[in-house]
């Protein structure tokens, strides 16, 4: 890293860099290197082990899509588990849903939580929400041993190296399947479809061994390598690729005797004023993959 520039190298032959105006924090926890920068274009940036995790300017594109696609697919999500996600961006989006009664987060690194509490304005109000339970510990062990059941599980992990490596393996997802309710859904971050498509193809194949429904979908955020980012989703019963909230007139304007609207439409309407990226059209389009990506997943 040269003076006033941070560079992430997702492959030996490519990199992403941004200029920062101030290095706010540099610390090494028991698990990873943690850095926080104030940048010219992205606001406050959190990096773990030399990889960008969160940028103040663009984080909503990732967090809204990893959360609202599964949450608005599920017919009535009440209990949600977040694996990782110490920046609380995923939790912030979850507790926007009025149906949620409890949101549990298991984050392995207390220092990541502490750093994010200091530098990101949404973090403290989110963790202070009475619906939220924060557990500092090993999510692999938690998922293996807990007797709790969840409607939605979000795997908001860092890359598959170091402390997050086990979160990309089959035993973990078999344990996730066990703790999900009958309509349960899991979503996870998988990497860049352009740079990591062999890895993503293997992960989607693994999901399909465990769940009857599994897809890759995408979001776009410039601070992640290549801009296009892959998210995995697997479901026991409801197909998220067919479940985008339809944009219909409000029921009060419908013809007399018409069937009530599916509940996820009304939940979307509650959320819509507070969303920056997600909408029903984006939900549908996220499952339409470029041909080279589709072939890497489906063969």
Cα–Cα distance for residue pair 283/276, rounded to 1 Å: 13
| 5-55 against 59-241+275-298: fold identical | no
Q: Where are the domains of the chain?
A: 5-55, 59-241+275-298
Q: How far apart are the first and last CA of the chain?
A: 39
CA angle 48, 156, 272 (to 5 degrees): 120
Q: What is the pLDDT of residues 56-94, one digit of tens each?
A: 999 999 999 999 999 999 999 999 999 999 999 999 999
pTM: 0.91
> Which is the catalytic residue, given 49, 109, 156, 175?
156
Whether 128 is catalytic = no
Query: pLDDT tens, 2-57?
Result: 579 999 998 888 888 899 999 999 999 999 999 999 999 999 999 999 999 999 99
Q: Which fold has domain 59-241+275-298?
A: Rossmann fold (3.40.50)
3-state helix, strand, coil in the chain (%, to 5): 35, 30, 35
Domain spanning 5-55: which superfamily?
A: Spermidine synthase, tetramerisation domain (2.30.140.10)
């Amino acid at each position: 890293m040269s003076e006033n520039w941070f560079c992430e190298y997702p492959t030996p032959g490519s990199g992403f860099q941004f200029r920062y105006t101030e290095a706010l924090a540099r610390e090494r926890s028991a698990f990873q290197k943690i850095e926080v920068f104030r940048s010219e274009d992205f606001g406050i940036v959190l990096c773990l082990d030399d990889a960008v995790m969160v940028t103040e300017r663009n984080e909503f594109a990732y967090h809204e899509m990893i959360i609202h696609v599964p949450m608005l697919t599920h017919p009535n999500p009440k209990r949600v588990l977040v694996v990782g996600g110490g920046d609380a961006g995923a939790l912030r989006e979850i507790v926007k849903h009025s149906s949620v009664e409890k949101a549990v987060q298991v984050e392995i690194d207390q220092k990541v939580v502490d750093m994010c509490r200091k530098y990101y304005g949404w973090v403290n109000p989110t963790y202070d929400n009475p619906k939220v339970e924060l557990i500092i510990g090993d999510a692999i062990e938690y998922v293996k041993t807990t007797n709790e059941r969840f409607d939605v599980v979000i795997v908001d992990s860092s890359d598959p190296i170091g402390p997050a490596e086990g979160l990309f393996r089959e035993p973990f997802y078999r344990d996730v399947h066990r703790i999900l309710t009958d309509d349960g859904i899991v979503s996870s971050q998988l990497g860049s479809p352009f740079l990591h498509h062999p890895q993503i193809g293997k992960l989607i194949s693994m999901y399909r061994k465990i769940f009857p429904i599994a897809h890759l979908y995408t979001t776009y955020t410039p601070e992640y390598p290549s801009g296009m980012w892959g998210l995995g989703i697997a479901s026991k019963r409801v197909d998220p690729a067919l479940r985008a909230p339809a944009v219909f007139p409000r029921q009060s304007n419908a013809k007399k005797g018409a069937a009530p609207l599916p509940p996820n439409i009304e939940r979307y309407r509650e959320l819509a004023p507070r969303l920056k990226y997600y909408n029903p059209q984006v939900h549908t389009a996220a499952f339409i993959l470029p041909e080279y990506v589709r072939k890497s997943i489906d063969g």
